[in-house]
Structure 1
Amino acid sequence: LFIALVYAVVQYILDNFNGESSDYLGFTGIITFLVSAILILPFIHPELGFSMYYYTWFHVATAIGTMAGFAALSLIQREFKNRNLKAYYYPLAIFLLGFLGLLAIRFASPSVYSLIISAPNTVFGVLTGGAATIGEVSSMFYYGGTFTLSRAFGNFTVSGFFASIIGLIILLVSVIRKAKPEEVLVLVWSILMLFAIYGQNRFAYYYSINVSILSAYIGGLLLEKVKWNELDEKFKSSVKSPADIPGFLKSFRAKQVLAVLAIAVFLIYPVYGAAMVQSTGSNDPDWAWIEACLWLKSSTPDPGMDYNAIYEAPEDGKLFDYPESAYGVMSWWDYGHYIETLGHRMPNANPFQAGIGGRRGSINETNVPGAAPFLTAQSEEEATEVLESIHPDPEKSGARYIMSDERMAVDIFMAMPEWTLDTEGYMQPYWTGDGYQYLPSKRYFDSMESRLHFLDGNGLKQYRLVYETWAYQTQEAGYKQVYNFLYGSSIPEVDSGYVKIFEYVKGAKITGTVSPNETVNINTTILTGQGRTFEYSQSTSSDSEGRYEFIVPYSTEGPIPGETQFDTAPTGAYVVSYGDTTTEVRVSEEAVLNGEEIKV
């Protein structure tokens, strides 16, 4: 729509300078966008107002507004012709009309005006903060804050991208010399799409059409230069039967053969090779995520929501009335669709960037509850507060399960604090003997993501590992080595499950009495479904009256019907120890889920 309108303005101005009628533009534009408005109408969501991110009245209004724009441009041109006004006043009249139109919209509907003004920057501007970490939304020409053409080459090939730029330059020169409507259209369209991929690389699939057209344009000019049309005419006049073909081939000139070879080698073959690579399919989701989501679907309680049902959206300002059994699954937004479509569970965040939370404008803003604040939380208490804040009912949490993979813990971890605008201190320089290296810091290892994925939730009171997939060879062992170095710990420096599922529970309360101010420990060995073991432990001190309390998330008695059918559990009882005394404690699943007290 925007491209069509910009082209129309340019073409109307050029036609007016050349003394030509633009009725063809007005007729085509009005009919085109009338049909567009009619086709959109059945799919709009009136309850979403004028949002430009969904099918709403905004799209109908912009289509009608574009129709009005075409009509206005035609009427102004006709008035100029009737009044015999000078052509160079025409652009001024258009821009004055546009300015007055925007001014009227600003007073009539500030929200629509804001959308119109912000729309170009949304598409063409380079985003910052958390939005810049979205792979497809980041700029085609910037990676990590550095200008690069590597993404453009990867999307269009080196020859394809440069062919499009050369084609644009040649087309611009041609339009300056003599403007043809079809060339003006391709020029305006291509320039705007180039700006679009500058803002967001996901528009590459649109610009690929421009690359094809501009490459063909260059190829056509090259064939025209070597007089290929003469061969075409000669073929038609001299080849009457297959026997005439050898004689016709002798009429080829060297420059014509070289031109065809150049087109094949530089414009066709590289793009063909890249297209064949891209058409082989995708590895997403990988088998670990498929396995984990299928386990989630079959081994967790029914949330009470029909996966195939269509639910009515609540009235404006009201919340959806979820059943008591409903719960969410917390993970990074990348995996929301996996959780929903494969696991048939409701993700707290998804690839529409819903549920990420955090901040958008300033570090001084409220850190909105969501995936980013939860996964970067520096303590269990902080993370739990986020979970409970997500749910509108203060007595409930927004998620029952948390899913994590090694990629979240390593490759894309720094995208999480980007969404909170609080990125300092997760990596720090350390002297390694060969120089300084940036390694994970205490703040990183204190994050909930690290506590869960690398430390298996050891020491956490209300989060338990219930399932893990098989292990891949990843960077996990290296991160654990850094952890052992920083904390003087001795956790096994090995890769564990690539995808892990944790459950948030109330936790059983184990209480007892010992001497005042005495150190009390509790521990047990956890065995996962992959045959891996790790130690779960906590430590506390009794109060002045000798009382102590542990909240533990694991049941020693196994799963119960209707609840999580976990395959990760203690190999035996908990062991409570203080001084020379040890006591075994067994904990039922009911106690864990209901927060029951077990006295020692």
Structure 2
Amino acid sequence: VQDQMNFYMNPENRCVSIRLKERDEMEYSRYLKPFTLILGGIVLLITFFSFIIRTLPAYSGNADVLMFVGMDDPTYQLRRIEQVIANYPNIAWFDPMTYFPYGQPMHWGPLFPFLGATLCLLTGAVTRTEIISATLFIPCAMAALMVPIIYLLVSRIADWKSGLVAAFFIAIVPGQFFFRSFYGYLDHHAGEVFFSTLFCLCYLSALVYSRKNPVDLKDRETWKVPILLGVLCGITYVLGLALMPTMLLFALIVGMFTPVWFIIQRYIGHLGASALVINSVTFFVAIIGFFFIGIHSEGGLNYYTIGHPIAYGLLILANVLLFGFSYHLKEKPFWYYVGAIVGVTILGIIAFALVFPDLFAYMMANANAFFGSDDIHWKTIQEARPWSFDDAWRTFQYSLILFGAGAAVLLNRIRKELCPSHVFTLIWAVVIFYATCQHIRYEYYLAAPVAILAGIAVGSALGIIELPSRYRSGSGGTGDEQHAGKKKAGKTHDVSKSKKGHLSGPVKAGSYAFLAIILVLALLFSHQALSRNLMMGAYNLNPDWREATEWLNGNTPDPGIDYYAIYDENNFTYPDSAYGVMSWWDYGHMITFLGKRMPNANPFQYGVNGPNGSARFFMTHDESEADQILANLNTKYVITDYEMDTGKFWAMSTWDNPDVGVYPYQQTFVFPNPEDPKSGMPYPVLTNEYYQTMISRLHNFDGSYTAPGTVFLLKYMRPSASGLNVPVVVDGGQTNFSAAKAVADSFNPQENPQYGVIMVNMGYTDPVEPVRSLSHYRLIFESSTRVTPADMDDIRYVKIFEHVKGAQIAGDGMLELKVKTNTGREFVYRTHSVDGIFTVPYPTEAAAGAITIPGRYRNVNTGAEYQVTEEQVAKGERI
């Protein structure tokens, strides 16, 4: 043993095989076996616990499992699973049932719906209820399986104590990871974390092995295991890639780590053959696997494009170049090699940009998509906004401190031992942390690094506690840490220890204080996480949207597209019977899955902006422009809801015109405090611009002419005069429309440059100027839930309108028609003539969808009544 210890005192032998470890393991195997079984049992218990806390809603006894499904992306995953079941094992790469009239190229991977369909076929799930019941457990199971993966990963780079703590943390970590792996959120996010972490486990295992058993290109026996490990890394990478193209992020992490790995190997006297073999095999397998998935788009790297194998090929080339420099500079000092890497990297980037400018621009654009920020996206898309400190603390709380402590532990070990596995783990954590800061959606990826580093921090603190000697081989580090620990044992003498090997007094007190702090933080985080997770209620598919889309499915014409069929984008054309459904993009997948109809816009943010986008349609004041948009898109129905009219209005206005956003429609004024005129309260109000939008005219007023009642007339001081960011009200009050209009029209801004006047209101159904009727839109269905109190106008949560040509009636003045909805609500549709013609959307002798018409059109001025048939409305005939 003394000879072995002397051997490790030589710095030149730091990375050779450790036979002493093998001998120790054999000696203590009789103690390790029961201990290993105990560890395995604990890991299994944590795994089961992780699964149970995610599936609690499943045990409620509610047989209507559709109500547990998240209402956006999960509904589309169910659509994909149903499609795969009908065409098993084929996967659709183009979907004509969304983003009408173009169809959606698919950038989600095939693996998730394939797994869901396979599970359904194995369990005999056939009906929609059975399919949902079977597949909702998939994300929960993937999240639970993260427990043994994290344990194995951390135990390889640290020890079993760190592994157990990290495994427990990944089971309970709250935020996006728990949210997206909870029962009902049937989507690929949990799978992304699962397969990417599995890849990292395999890659770290390869690092640990190659550190103890470095590759010698002259000795083929040393190639075998690293090649097999590289193949395993490649396979797990391809599995992640088959789930989502964002797996490319982990190729980037490997690419960032590789030069550091070569430098470490060069520093300890190796040429870097281990990195060359493992990385080259890994990404050669990735290239082969990618072509099994196939090229399915010409877009960016968030699709399955040729850019993926190009990127992997460049990684392999980089490894060859790094090894080549190492080989040719093997007789030179270490710093020659470092300088060569830095210089060649800079020159290589410049040369790449000059020789392949289009490819370079393509790669940079995709890097920006990963890490950059787009103003309109982060403002209007929840998962695309930057991650604030409040967001971070709300999710991870005390584990953020443990995350930092774990990073410090790794940095300290890197400083002492230069362990590649620790470097890779740290780069992994830093890259994902930065990506999360840019886009909050990556928070679910960050759950794994947080659990790992927090576990390492706690495990390191627990290392202060001495175990009985017979368990020390099981409690000590494994992989790099154990190897490095043995080297250090014979290399230096720790001055913090006494001759008997015990910690000295002050150091011992400080160590136990550190242990106490870490344990308190771990307990606080565990309590916070468990409390938050156990309080999380079940997902609830919006019942009004379910009611509306199911009615749409059963009561509108068949669009002529087979919902289950797989179509080829290259030779597909829509039949003449096809038509679109206009709504906000949030609801596109429900329209596809529940309504089996084709939305113009969807949660992929397709069909949102542009001259024919849903944002322009709902923001325009001009009915003729709205008509033209629907004509361009061959769209027949429009669905609105209360959220589009209120809370999501700002998002629609921002997509329509990012430069002004919601300001023209909803303005904020400072109203002075009557008791203290020097202080005031900012308050948002609605302007005429809001009331004249298509969304307001449809949802608030049912397309009917509406006259204003009382309005607020405000005189305000402009921000340029007050020095504040918003206008300050100096005078005003509530009055009738005519009086307010007269005062507003008489105001002369040239005589009062520091002041302005405006008519506003607070209620969504209280216009400040007359709202014109819509001649080509009729209400055909509304959902059951009333969203306004009894003393206000009755507005329902979801409404469906049909776009029609409208019958034409000669005459002047105003027509009125009593309308009764499917909920029993009654209103009067009013419309004025234009150039001696009334254009009306409702028939009087037939129902309009679920809407009934109890009477005839009546001219308010003349008393004349008119009957209108559905055929006259549909063909736009003149009466």
**TM-score (structure 2 length as normaliser):** 0.55
Matches within 5 A, 1:369-408: 369-389=612-632, 391=633, 397=634, 399-408=635-644
Residue deviations 1:324-376 (CA, integer Å, cap 9, x gap): 11011111111111111111111101111111123xxxxxxxxx321111111
Number of equivalences: 516
| Equivalent residue in structure 2 for 1:463, among 771, 777, 789 | 777
User: What does residue 608 of structure 2 align with?
Assistant: 356
| Equivalent residue in structure 1 for 2:839, among 540, 546, 551 | 551
Distance 1:351 1:52 in 2: 19
Distance 2:257 2:341 in 1: 13
After the TM superposition, which of the residue ranges 171-180 and 336-345 deviates more from structure 2?
A: 171-180
User: What does residue 577 of structure 1 align with?
Assistant: 860
Contact 2:815 2:859 in 1 (8 A): yes
Distance 1:110 1:95 in 2: 22
**Amino acid in structure 1 at the alignment position of 2:859:** V
Match status 1:509 vs 2:808 = yes
**SS in structure 2 of the partner of residue 400 of structure 1:** strand
Contact 2:833 2:839 in 1 (8 A): no
User: What does residue 333 of structure 1 align with?
Assistant: 585
**Amino acid in structure 1 at the alignment position of 2:819:** I
Cα distance 1:64–1:215, how it changes in 2: closer, same or farther (>3 A)? same
Match status 1:137 vs 2:377 = no
Distance 2:286 2:369 in 1: 22
**Amino acid in structure 2 at the alignment position of 1:268:** S
**SS in structure 2 of the partner of residue 439 of structure 1:** strand
| Equivalent residue in structure 2 for 1:197, among 421, 436, 456 | 436
Matches within 5 A, 1:448-459: 448-458=694-704, 459=773
* Alpha-carbon offset, residue 14 of structure 1: 3.1
Distance 1:79 1:14 in 2: 17
Structure 1: gaps of 5 or more residues: 142-148, 237-252, 359-367, 392-396, 479-491, 513-518, 560-564
Match status 1:86 vs 2:333 = yes
**Amino acid in structure 1 at the alignment position of 2:877:** E
Cα distance 1:228–1:449, how it changes in 2: closer, same or farther (>3 A)? farther
* Alpha-carbon offset, residue 131 of structure 1: 4.7
Distance 2:805 2:854 in 1: 21
Contact 1:506 1:595 in 2 (8 A): yes
**SS in structure 2 of the partner of residue 67 of structure 1:** helix
**SS in structure 1 of the partner of residue 334 of structure 2:** coil
**Amino acid in structure 1 at the alignment position of 2:375:** T
**TM-score (structure 1 length as normaliser):** 0.80
Residue deviations 1:20-73 (CA, integer Å, cap 9, x gap): 442222211111112222222122335x22521211211122122222222222
Match status 1:26 vs 2:276 = yes
Matches within 5 A, 1:229-378: 232-233=471-472, 262=520, 265-277=523-535, 281-283=538-540, 285-314=541-570, 320-358=572-610, 368-378=611-621
Distance 1:522 1:494 in 2: 21
* Alpha-carbon offset, residue 277 of structure 1: 4.5
* Alpha-carbon offset, residue 275 of structure 1: 4.0
Choose between structure 1 and 2: higher helix proportion. Answer: 2
Structure 2: gaps of 5 or more residues: 1-250, 476-508, 674-680, 705-772
**Amino acid in structure 1 at the alignment position of 2:784:** W
**Amino acid in structure 1 at the alignment position of 2:833:** T
The structure whose RCO (Cα within 8 Å, separation 6+) is larger is 2
**Amino acid in structure 1 at the alignment position of 2:273:** D
Cα distance 1:308–1:234, how it changes in 2: closer, same or farther (>3 A)? closer
Superposed CA RMSD in Å reads 2.8
Matches within 5 A, 1:100-115: 100-103=347-350, 105-106=352-353, 109-115=356-362
User: What does residue 646 of structure 2 align with?
Assistant: 410
| Equivalent residue in structure 2 for 1:498, among 792, 797, 815 | 797
**Amino acid in structure 2 at the alignment position of 1:379:** D
* Alpha-carbon offset, residue 419 of structure 1: 1.6
Cα distance 1:31–1:377, how it changes in 2: closer, same or farther (>3 A)? same
**Amino acid in structure 1 at the alignment position of 2:319:** F
User: What does residue 487 of structure 1 align with?
Assistant: none
Contact 1:155 1:204 in 2 (8 A): no
Distance 2:408 2:665 in 1: 46
**Amino acid in structure 2 at the alignment position of 1:137:** A
Distance 1:235 1:94 in 2: 40
Cα distance 1:126–1:502, how it changes in 2: closer, same or farther (>3 A)? same
Contact 1:332 1:349 in 2 (8 A): yes
User: What does residue 423 of structure 2 align with?
Assistant: 184
**SS in structure 2 of the partner of residue 308 of structure 1:** coil
Contact 1:215 1:267 in 2 (8 A): no
| Equivalent residue in structure 1 for 2:688, among 418, 439, 442 | 442
* Alpha-carbon offset, residue 437 of structure 1: 1.4
Distance 2:801 2:832 in 1: 22
Contact 1:50 1:112 in 2 (8 A): no
**SS in structure 1 of the partner of residue 833 of structure 2:** strand
| Equivalent residue in structure 2 for 1:9, among 253, 259, 262 | 259
| Equivalent residue in structure 2 for 1:121, among 368, 379, 384 | 368
Cα distance 1:260–1:170, how it changes in 2: closer, same or farther (>3 A)? closer
Distance 1:324 1:234 in 2: 74
User: What does residue 482 of structure 1 align with?
Assistant: none
Distance 1:292 1:93 in 2: 65
Distance 1:118 1:228 in 2: 53
Cα distance 1:224–1:299, how it changes in 2: closer, same or farther (>3 A)? same
Cα distance 1:234–1:221, how it changes in 2: closer, same or farther (>3 A)? closer
User: What does residue 37 of structure 1 align with?
Assistant: 287
User: What does residue 116 of structure 2 align with?
Assistant: none
User: What does residue 596 of structure 1 align with?
Assistant: 877
Distance 2:775 2:314 in 1: 58
Runs of 4+ in 1 over 6 A off after TM superposition: none
After the TM superposition, which of the residue ranges 187-196 and 162-171 deviates more from structure 2?
A: 162-171
Cα distance 1:276–1:114, how it changes in 2: closer, same or farther (>3 A)? farther
Match status 1:224 vs 2:463 = yes
Contact 1:160 1:271 in 2 (8 A): no
**SS in structure 2 of the partner of residue 570 of structure 1:** coil
Distance 1:369 1:108 in 2: 39
Contact 2:402 2:522 in 1 (8 A): no
Distance 1:124 1:34 in 2: 26
| Equivalent residue in structure 2 for 1:153, among 393, 410, 416 | 393
Cα distance 1:418–1:173, how it changes in 2: closer, same or farther (>3 A)? farther
Cα distance 1:39–1:495, how it changes in 2: closer, same or farther (>3 A)? farther
Contact 1:33 1:63 in 2 (8 A): yes
